[in-house]
Copies of this chain bind each other. A is one copy, B any other.
Amino acid sequence: MAGNLLGDPTERDLYVYLPPGYEDSDERYPTAYLLHYFGSSAQELVYPRADKERWSPPLQDVLDPVFTRLNTPPMIVVIPDGWTSYGCGQWVDSPVGGNFESYLLHDVVTHVDEHFRTIPQASSRGVFGFSSGGFGAWHVVSRHPEAFSALAMLSGDSYFDLTHKPMLYEYLDSIWPEAPKGPVEAIYMSQMIYALASCYSPNPDNPPYYVDLPMDFPSGEIKSEVWNQWLSFDPVVNWRDRFDNLRQLKGILLDVGARDDISLQWGHRLLSHYLGEAGIVHEASEHAGNHGSRSRERYQVSLQWLATVLERGGA
């Protein structure tokens, strides 16, 4: 994480959930990596703020029932931190936001395997997450089958032409007629656009924000070369280049709400369509919720699914 241009901390929280029974056994366990979403952090995911209008339980209250009431075979759950001062590092490597992909792949996995009784092999490691965390699960696992063998993408960023392009203009509308001038706390869309740009089109030579925006101001014209950089991160685009990797995986789960607030159901449907046509085995499911309304339940569903996919009793 050293050297990110945002000046964000290079030491990060890492939370590890040990399943019931861990202390009383010397068993080794599969490991599920849970990637958090945009605007959050590992700490916020584990201990959600209690002063908001809507309430989320501590993550423990979501995970405990998976392994008790629901009788899911035990796994270790790891919650790394991907927060940046722009909002999220999208779990990619960026000279601006930080190298979250490498951090996860090397630092986190290594640390976990060294300190806990994991089954230290790809076939026993999976990644799951919601929204940017779902995007991260796709991004990291589809590029690194040597490290992970399963991914659950929950309401993950995809089909940028439909879902992200309107955000560019929503951002401009939110500051119009002023020109873009960096992420501003009070303007959510400004944080979103600069965060995504810091990940998909970082430009260390372009101070003070170190990003290229994919649209011109005030004309609104799309800058094709920058937008194509973004699209190279889009699952509905990059699955082709990762075809060989995807075929090696033991499991791919795509899950989304049919009424996603930013229409991510269409990215999921399109990706599932492409994967299906290419003969890549995967599961695709939809629920009745919108973007965020069922994320906690979906963590439980993902863990139940990972338990059926990841190798157990190895090592």
B54/A169 in contact, CB under 8 A: no
B166/A53 in contact, CB under 8 A: no
- Of A23-31, A33-41, A213-221, the one contacting chain B is A213-221
B166/A263 in contact, CB under 8 A: yes
A169/B259 in contact, CB under 8 A: no
How far is B165's CA from A266's CA once the two chains are assembled, in angstroms?
12
CB neighbours of A293 from chain B (8 A): 53-55
**Interface set of A (CB-CB < 8 Å, partner B):** 50-55, 57-58, 60-62, 64-65, 68-69, 161-162, 165-166, 169, 173, 176, 218-221, 257-259, 263, 265-266, 269-270, 273, 288-290, 293-294, 296-297
CB distance from A197 to the nearest CB of B (A): 18
How many copies of this chain?
4
User: In chain B, what residue has the closest Cβ to A236?
Assistant: B221
Known contacts A51-B288, A54-B294, A218 near B269 by CB under 8 Å = yes
A61/B69 in contact, CB under 8 A: yes
| Contact residue among B51, B161, B221, B265 (Cβ-Cβ distance under 8 Å from A270) | B221
How far is B51's CA from A289's CA once the two chains are assembled, in angstroms?
8
B53/A270 in contact, CB under 8 A: no
B270/A220 in contact, CB under 8 A: yes
Counting from the closest, the 4 A-B pairs by CB-CB distance are A219-B273, A55-B294, A55-B297, A54-B293
